């Protein structure tokens, strides 16, 4: 048995980890939940974000949080290019949404292979002060890097949620997601809005990759995989189309994972997460915060 203080420490640690899951899931939620395109390469964009951090920090010595902005812009551009070559040509065809699954799978394979060729399979990480500086509140410790990732996670989720609700382009994104034909009728440039949504989603994935890389020592071509799976679980768990739900879903999954390791052992960490995931889906197929589809 572990003491109460250790137990609280772990709950906090895993809640923070869950917040980070929320952050990695945000870009996916936007593309999949709102835009209804399946982005199989999400984890690979996270990976490119991690490498962006590695190279900018080690080559130019800039702060990793500036690298996060660089990655947001760079990945946003890469996302738009991806959209032009892999999403837009198929998305309006019959079965278009399923087709995006295959085209983005192709992008995923290309990105992973390129990363292997360019940067080798060897895992990397970079030194930074944030992961070596610690905050201590009531005996509970965490690294500054993780605390910042958690705060940025909440801030960006709130920002994206408000952007979709209040800003004109955000409203247009929602309109396109709900009714592309209607949106076109009222004069919205649908392909342009889709392009921007995809770019924004991929940009957010890149930024999340940088924030993860500040404390998680595993920058390598297949590094996105772990966070990718977690992101899919978080998005489904939260419910397609909700943005703020992502943060709660992330934290719940983080804590569930923690409880699995505390109560049972590390071998159970994934099992418990998926059991809870399946139970929630059985009870609420639309996800925790999603709206149920009405029969027409």
Report the interface residues with another protein, using CB under 8 A.
2-3, 6, 9-10, 13-14, 17, 122-127, 131-132, 134, 141-143, 215-218, 220, 225-227, 230, 257-258, 261-262, 265-267, 269-270
Residue closer to another protein (CB basis): 72 or 215: 215
Neighbouring C-alpha atoms within 13 Å toward the C-beta of 113: 6
Residue closer to another protein (CB basis): 61 or 187: 61
Cα separations in angstroms, 91 against 103, 147, 158: 10, 39, 28
Q: Which pair of tokens denotes residue 236?
A: 């489904």
Q: How far is the CB of 45 from another protein (least distance, A)?
A: 18
Which residues, 6+ apart, have CB-to-CB distance to 59 below 8 Å? none
Q: How far is the CB of 120 from another protein (least distance, A)?
A: 8
Helix axes 190-213, 144-166, angle to 10 degrees: 170
Measured in residues, the chain has a length of 296
Per the DSSP assignment, residues forming a β-bridge with 143 are 134
Nearest to 29 by CA among 15, 39, 20: 39
* CA separation for the pair 58, 182 (Å, rounded): 49
Residue closer to another protein (CB basis): 14 or 72: 14
Q: How far is the CB of 216 from another protein (least distance, A)?
A: 7
Q: How far is the CB of 250 from another protein (least distance, A)?
A: 12
* CA separation for the pair 29, 31 (Å, rounded): 6
Q: How far is the CB of 262 from another protein (least distance, A)?
A: 6
Residue closer to another protein (CB basis): 60 or 134: 134
């Amino acid at each position: 048995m572990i003491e109460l203080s250790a137990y609280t420490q772990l709950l906090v640690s895993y809640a923070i980890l869950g917040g980070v899951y929320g952050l990695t899931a945000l870009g996916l939620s936007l593309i999949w939940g709102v835009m209804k395109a399946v982005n199989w390469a999400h984890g690979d964009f996270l990976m490119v974000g991690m490498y962006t951090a590695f190279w900018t920090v080690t080559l130019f010595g800039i702060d990793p949080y500036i690298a996060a902005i660089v990655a947001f812009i760079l990945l946003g551009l890469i996302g738009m290019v991806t959209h032009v070559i892999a999403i837009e040509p198929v998305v309006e065809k019959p079965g278009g949404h399923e087709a995006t699954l295959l085209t983005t799978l192709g992008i995923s394979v290309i990105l992973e292979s390129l990363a292997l060729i360019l940067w080798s399979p060897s895992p990397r990480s970079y030194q930074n002060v944030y992961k070596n500086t610690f905050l201590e509140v009531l005996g509970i410790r965490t690294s500054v890097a993780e605390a910042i990732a958690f705060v940025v996670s909440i801030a960006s989720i709130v920002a994206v949620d408000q952007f979709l609700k209040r800003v004109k382009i955000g409203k247009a994104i929602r309109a396109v997601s709900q009714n592309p034909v209607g949106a076109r009728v009222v004069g919205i440039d649908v392909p342009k809005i889709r392009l921007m949504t995809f770019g924004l989603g991929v940009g957010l994935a890149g930024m999340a990759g940088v924030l993860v890389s500040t404390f998680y020592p595993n920058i390598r071509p297949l590094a996105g995989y772990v966070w990718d799976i977690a992101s899919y679980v978080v998005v489904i768990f939260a419910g397609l189309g909700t943005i703020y739900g992502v943060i709660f879903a992330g934290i719940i999954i983080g804590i569930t994972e923690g409880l699995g390791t505390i109560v049972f052992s590390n071998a159970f960490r994934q099992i418990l997460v998926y059991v809870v995931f399946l139970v929630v889906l059985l009870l609420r197929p639309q996800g925790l915060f999603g709206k149920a589809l009405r029969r027409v």
